Chains A and B, each alone.
Chain A
Amino acid sequence: MEMAPIQDSRAAERMTILEMRGISQIFPGVKALDGVNISLHPGEVTALIGENGAGKSTLVKILTGIYLPSDGAIFIDGKPVSFSSAQDAVDAGVTAIHQETVLFDELSVAENIFLGHAPRTRFGLIDWKTMNARAGELLHVLESEIDPTIRLKDLSIAQRHLVAIARALSVEARIVIMDEPTAALSRKEIDDLFRIVEGLKRQGKAILFISHKFDEVYEIAENFVVFRDGRAVGSGRLAETPQDAIVRMMVGRDVSNIFPKVEVAIGETVLSVENYCHPTEYRDISFELKRGEILGVYGLVGAGRSEICQALFGVTLPSSGRLVLEGETVSIRSPRDAIAAGIVYVPEERGRHGLALPMPIFQNMSLPSLARTSRSGFLKAANELALARKYAERLDLRAAALSVPVGTLSGGNQQKVVIGKWLATLPKVIILDEPTKGIDIGSKAAVHGFISELAAEGLSIIMVSSELPEILGVSDRVLVMREGLSAGIFDRSRLSAETLVRAATGNA
């Protein structure tokens, strides 16, 4: 691929295109970013590394004009800029290629590339000829011969990625953000992508490459920045930094002090999952869960963790496998079956999966327990309120009244309603999917204490988490998943951050 460099990349080295200084982003109750500094250089790839929830996505949203930062300044070519809309960012030469490509299935490739800035004829109508020709040129530069006139839905995922990249290039961006671009790609497609990235580097573009796959980062990037809990905790040249050092930066803090583990007597086996398979999401997953035990499930996003949990809860069905609950094989074909059997699932997205926001708190809490609170088919508001009051007190829920809509509560209190709702079903097994996602460190400790308390009462807990300190601090055993397969089950005695990260990323 021969491309005339727009500027001599060697001369431009260590020049800075974009600089972010002291960027903070505060959401109600959470500090998503805290005084972050980042610089991007022409012709270089900077890798942004961090666990989920470390603040990577928030940074991308600030750079692309979706969020206005609460504090801090952004400079492009040394001049301060402020992005108050996505268009401002595009105009300033910043473009992003997102994790899930944001494209339109029913439009043609060329339309997708030029949506919003299509070439016009002198009558102000879309100039299809020019648009298709320019789309073809852009794709040609990317060494792709995709026909610009076919509809996007007929393309493979890798080809869609190319379209997304072509779209990014069509606006003549100087700063390209790639948000986990390899997540859905095969090794060969990744190689193709990296050739394109090399081409972009030669054109003098500055690239921010977000990934948590170390092999890729070392392959493609020159610089790195590590995020943890919304702060940039390390940065430098990758050539001078061993992988172990980066893993330590990611994990960071002294784990045992922050997440004190309460020792609980572990009883007999309650649940055993045998050879759960799904055509696309996971294969051959087996594990056991004992009374009072907390099983952590760790892995990267897309490793199949949530999917296996949803299968246990009957939201999706496994293609094969057996579930034994207290010695009896059970068949779970819907959430109703799971609830009846005593398995409940506290989903990751409490807004989307957890709560009916217009409904009052007590009605949300009693929703899965209505069979118990009703008398001869009629709802008993008094019973529902009593149930809700019991768990509201237990979880220290702060609300004006239990009859106000859940939508009026803060995020943390909404999470308590979700947990209370599931505890009220008197489950045997409770599955917590990212129980502390999006809440601040102080509330996290309270949640962890509560999880230990539940285990002490004899509940068995499956806790899916992407946060290593949480997994290490709370779990009795950890199931690590990688690309839909089990990458090992580790006992508490064998737990360490490095072991788990290696198992999850496949880095021996």
Chain B
Amino acid sequence: MKKLLKHRELLLVGIIAIMVAGFATRAPGFATPGNLANIFNDTSILIILALGQMTVILTKSIDLSVAANLAFTGMAVAMMDATYPGMPLALLVILAVGIGAVLGAINGTLVWWLRIPPIVVTLGTLTIYRGMAFVLSGGAWVNSHQMTPGFLNFPRLPVLGMPLLSWMAIGIVLLMWVVLTRTQFGRATYASGGNPTAAVYAGIDTGRTKFLAFTLSGALAGLAGYLWVSRYAVAYVDVAAGFELDTVAACVIGGISIAGGIGSVAGAVLGALFLGVIKNALPVIGISPFAQMAISGIVIVLAVVFNARAERRAGRIILRDRGAKEVSA
């Protein structure tokens, strides 16, 4: 079991490979490199969001506002592009990241200064940010013909055989790997979630760490906002409704502990890919859309059960007294 835990990411790779092979027997062509690259591209936005979510979850928090943040930011940049077609794309992307970061920082501030539980804060801001998207747009859609070609085409530009969207996801994965494993902020997120009291005693400001994690998650949601409206060539209030749950699911499947302090970038990415493979495969092998949701849900619950069992085993040595009792019994 311990070995299994250590190689949890490998295990997930194995499961995904088996799934892909299984689907390929039902739908020839599913396992071709072209289709797999498509699945990765389809999953890119989820990967980016899941990495932000993971950072927040590592600090023993949760960010339920990522999808609403994405919707507002996406709407904002789409409207800017439609209204001022001359705005350079780079500026719009920077604005998307900036707006997202500000929304994330609002979450972070409420958690840090007012010490409101993250789930309550982000449940509130999830509604507020969606509401803001509605107020901003008046409920109107921004359609593809209103957006500039540059705005629309950027994520689709092929580079070395893959769309830029995929490359951006890869870039963010590398960036987040560096941030979480090679910076003091990264270490602080693991420590803040692993044992908040010990982290404080070690001189880490856990409130500030959470604030930064929320801001980072917001910035990534903002970037995802631009990528989403550009990829699907439409912006409306209900864009990505419920997508925050997919990001949490990706983290949980990838072995990121909801209790904080445990998880890896590879795990979050594989968790997202796992969901991506299922979502792409079920329609291909002819399962009805209604059953698709149920099946995705069952898979997520199974992953959570597996995770909980694994953590309980790993946690056994911590529960010394109980262990002693069991031994003596």
Contacts and interface: CB of A to CB of B under 8 A. Distances in A.
Given A379-B182, A411-B320, A421-B202, A356 B325 contact: no
Given A70-B328, A351-B318, A367-B202, A356 B182 contact: no
B198 interface: yes
A5 interface: no
B201 A345 contact: yes
A282 B4 CA distance: 51
A377 B183 CA distance: 6
Contacts of A339: 202-203
Interface in A350-405: 351-359, 363, 367-368, 370-371, 374, 377-379, 405
A358 B203 contact: no
Contacts of B202: 335, 339, 367-368, 421
Name, among B190, B194, B320, the residue most crowded by chain A CB atoms within 10 Å (CB to CB): B194
A363 B182 CA distance: 12
A368 B321 contact: no
A359 B191 contact: yes
B187 A370 contact: yes
B325 A68 contact: yes
B206 to A, nearest CB: 11
B183 A379 contact: yes
Contacts, number: 101
Nearest to B261: A358
B181 A359 contact: no
Contacts of B181: 379
B201 A335 contact: yes
A317 interface: no
Interface in B312-329: 314-315, 317-318, 320-321, 323-325, 328-329
A28 interface: yes
Interface string A322-343: 0000000000001110111000
B204 interface: yes
B86 to A, nearest CB: 38
Contacts of B203: 334-336, 338-340, 368
Interface string B259-300: 001100000000000000000000000000000000000000
Interface in B76-122: none
A392 to B, nearest CB: 18
A141 interface: no
A435 interface: no
Contacts of A379: 181-184, 186-187
Contact of B317 (A68, A84, A407, A421): A407
A319 interface: no
B198 A354 contact: yes
B190 A356 contact: yes
Name, among A336, A351, A357, A378, the residue most crowded by chain B CB atoms within 10 Å (CB to CB): A357
Given A334-B205, A335-B203, A407-B317, A357 B195 contact: yes
A353 B195 CA distance: 8
B197 interface: yes
A69 interface: yes
Interface in B51-87: none
A456 B204 CA distance: 30
A347 interface: yes
A338 B203 CA distance: 8
Interface string B190-218: 11001101111111110000000000000
Interface in A179-193: none
Nearest to A360: B190
Interface in A403-454: 405, 407-408, 411, 421
B261 to A, nearest CB: 5
A354 B328 contact: no
A356 B184 contact: no
B205 A336 contact: yes
B184 to A, nearest CB: 5
B88 to A, nearest CB: 30
Contact of A356 (B183, B198, B317, B329): B198
Interface string A298-336: 000000000000000101000000000000000000111
Nearest to B323: A28
Contacts of A123: none
B324 A28 contact: yes
Contacts of A407: 314-315, 317-318
A166 B318 CA distance: 35
Contacts of A358: 190, 194, 257, 261-262, 314
A408 B6 CA distance: 13
Given A345-B201, A354-B201, A379-B187, A408 B321 contact: no
A67 interface: yes
Contact of B201 (A28, A68, A69, A347): A347
B123 to A, nearest CB: 23
Interface of A: 25-28, 67-70, 84, 313, 315, 334-336, 338-340, 345, 347, 351-359, 363, 367-368, 370-371, 374, 377-379, 405, 407-408, 411, 421
Given A67-B325, A407-B318, 15 more contacts: A26-B328, A67-B324, A67-B328, A315-B200, A334-B205, A336-B205, A338-B203, A347-B201, A352-B197, A352-B198, A355-B195, A355-B198, A359-B194, A359-B261, A421-B202
The 5 A-B pairs of least Cβ separation, nearest first, read A356-B194, A336-B203, A356-B195, A367-B202, A368-B202
14 contacts: A67-B328, A68-B329, A315-B200, A335-B203, A336-B205, A339-B203, A352-B197, A352-B198, A354-B198, A359-B191, A367-B187, A378-B183, A379-B187, A407-B318
